[in-house]
């Protein structure tokens, strides 16, 4: 299970993080969320400490979801140094989700190389 954060911890855990953060907005009723979460968990295990992945229950954090204009569940938002740098709002299949996540990982790697 991914670490869950709430609106009151979002600033500290995401925006002030010294490493990139991939935020998964999900909902308990979402079937797609159920097959995206294991992909995210495996991605976190493979990437060690290069970045972290956290989850936000959009149903219980409506203000936060609204603030970031989350209209599709699941939505993945990639933050680096407090800035939203990438978002993934649509998943057609597990293969597509895996490919989109790999692209997000590449973006993180490029970002870390450019900051040295």
Let me know if 33 is a catalytic residue: yes
Q: Which of 30, 39, 85, 109 is catalytic?
A: 30
- Do residues 45 and 76 lie in contact, with contact meaning Cβ atoms separated by under 8 Å? no
Q: Which of 22, 33, 40, 108 is catalytic?
A: 33
Let me know if 30 is a catalytic residue: yes
Compute CA distances 7 → 35, 48, 73, 80, whole Å: 24, 25, 17, 18
Question: What SS3 string covers 62-104?
Answer: HHHHHHCCCCCCCEEEEEECCEEEEEECCCCCHHHHHHHHHHH
Which residues participate in catalysis according to the annotation? 30, 33
């Amino acid at each position: 299970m991914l670490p869950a954060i709430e609106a009151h911890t979002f600033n500290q855990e995401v925006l002030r993080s010294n490493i990139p953060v991939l935020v998964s907005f999900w909902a308990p009723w979402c079937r797609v969320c159920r097959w995206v979460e294991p992909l995210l968990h495996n991605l976190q295990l493979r990437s060690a400490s290069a970045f972290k992945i956290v989850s936000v229950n959009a149903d219980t954090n409506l203000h936060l979801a609204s603030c970031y204009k989350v209209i599709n569940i699941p939505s993945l938002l990639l933050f680096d140094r407090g800035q939203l740098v990438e978002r993934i709002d649509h998943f057609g299949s597990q293969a597509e989700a895996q490919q989109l996540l790999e692209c997000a990982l590449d973006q993180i790697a490029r970002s870390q190389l450019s900051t040295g």
